[in-house]
């Protein structure tokens, strides 16, 4: 069963705390992504990873960093979370260029 | 300015009716288009891709692409309550690794 798994599904953090969002995929996809979704803004690309330790900034990387040490695992880190980082975060993966992107179910992060 | 613009923002259709969604890109590098559907509480899921001019039909869903005008549409025939969802248009260039999404069209199918 092709799957992208995100943990946790819901998270509440205080402003200034560090946040770790984790993502795994079981399809051996080389490319993985982190998006955030906000009302009225659609899905915005934060980071893209082409393989282990091969990461590139997306459209809104400020305030985020990523880590990919294994092909099947991609983490999003928020150092000192801010209230404007309250959002739903989606991890995704794809086999290669211009093929279907598979999304996880998302993590709803609230920063208070 | 959004590089991928969708209209309408929301749409209500009766069960069994036709839903028509539109998408226009302002970036001539975008030549590959996708439609994704997102049900409440879930992640987006690909409905179909369209890379060539003309129509592409998959079941009750038909996409149409006009590359000259960078316009793509999605038509849902015989709409079902399960089609109620947020529909995203997404586009990429020939490198294809970075999908740019529109804001989405919310479709409600009335029983």
Question: In terms of pLDDT, which residue wins out, B72 or B94?
Answer: B72
Give the pLDDT band (50/70/90) at residue B94. confident
pLDDT tens sequence across A26-39: 999 999 999 999 99
pLDDT of residue A112: 97
Which of A59, A96, A105 is closest, CB to CB, to B43? A105
Note whether B105 contacts A: Cβ–Cβ < 8 A.
no
Instruction: Say whether B58 sits in a helix, a strand or coil.
Output: strand
- pLDDT value, residue A2: 81
**pLDDT (tens digit per residue) in B4-61:** 999 999 999 999 999 999 999 999 999 899 999 999 999 999 999 999 999 999 999 9
Contact A98 B102 (CB under 8 A): no
Tokens coding B52: 């060539």
Q: What is the pLDDT of residue B49?
A: 96
Distance from C-alpha of B94 to C-alpha of B104, rounded to nearest angstrom: 23
Q: In sequence order, which residues have a C-beta less than 8 Å from that of residue B26 and are 6 or more positions away?
A: B1, B2, B3, B4, B5, B70
B2: pLDDT strictly greater than 80: no
Q: CB of A7 within 8 Å of any CB in chain B?
A: no
A4·B43 Cβ contact <8 A: yes
What residues of chain A, 90 to 109, have a C-beta less than 8 Å from chain B?
90, 92, 94, 96-106
Asked if omega into B8 is within 30° of 0 (cis), the reply is yes
* Radius of gyration from C-alpha coordinates of chain B: 13
User: Is the Cα torsion angle B6, B72, B108, B36 positive or negative in sign?
Assistant: negative
Q: How many CB pairs under 8 A join A and B?
A: 55
Cβ-defined contact of A106 to B92 (cutoff 8 Å): no
3-state secondary structure of B81: helix
Question: Hey, are the CB atoms on A58 and B96 less than 8 Å from each other?
Answer: no
Tell me how far apart the alpha carbons of residues A101 and B98 are, in angstroms, rounded to a whole number. Answer: 10
Is beta strand B105-110 parallel, antiparallel or unpaired with respect to B10-14? parallel
pLDDT score of B60: 98
CB A32 within 8 A of CB A23: yes
**pLDDT per position as a tens digit, A53-103:** 999 999 999 999 999 999 999 999 999 999 999 999 999 999 988 899 999
Question: What is the rounded distance in angstroms from the CA atom of residue A71 to the CA atom of residue B21?
Answer: 36
Most B CBs within 10 Å, among A36, A42, A55, to test the B interface:
A42
Q: Which of A105, A106, A99 is CA-nearest to residue A29?
A: A99
Cis peptide bond upstream of A88, omega within 30: no
């Amino acid at each position: 069963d092709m799957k992208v798994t995100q943990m946790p599904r819901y998270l509440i953090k205080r402003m200034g705390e560090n946040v770790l969002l984790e993502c795994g995929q079981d399809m051996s996809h080389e490319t993985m992504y982190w998006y955030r979704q906000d009302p009225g803004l659609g899905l915005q690309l934060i980071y893209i990873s082409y393989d282990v330790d091969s990461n590139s900034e997306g459209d809104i990387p400020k305030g985020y960093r990523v880590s990919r040490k294994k092909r099947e695992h991609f983490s999003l880190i928020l150092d000192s979370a801010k209230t404007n980082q309250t959002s739903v975060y989606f991890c995704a993966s794809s086999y290669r260029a211009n093929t279907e992107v598979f999304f996880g179910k998302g993590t709803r992060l609230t920063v208070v | 300015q959004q590089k991928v613009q969708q209209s309408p923002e929301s749409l209500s259709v009766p069960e069994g009716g036709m839903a028509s969604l539109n998408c226009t890109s302002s970036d001539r590098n975008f030549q590959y288009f996708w439609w994704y559907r997102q049900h409440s509480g879930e992640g987006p899921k690909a409905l179909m891709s369209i890379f060539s001019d003309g129509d592409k039909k998959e079941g009750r869903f038909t996409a149409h692409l006009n590359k000259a005008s960078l316009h793509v549409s999605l038509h849902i025939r015989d709409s079902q309550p399960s089609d109620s969802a947020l529909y995203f248009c997404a586009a990429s260039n020939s490198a294809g690794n970075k999908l740019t999404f529109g804001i989405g069209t919310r479709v409600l199918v009335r029983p």
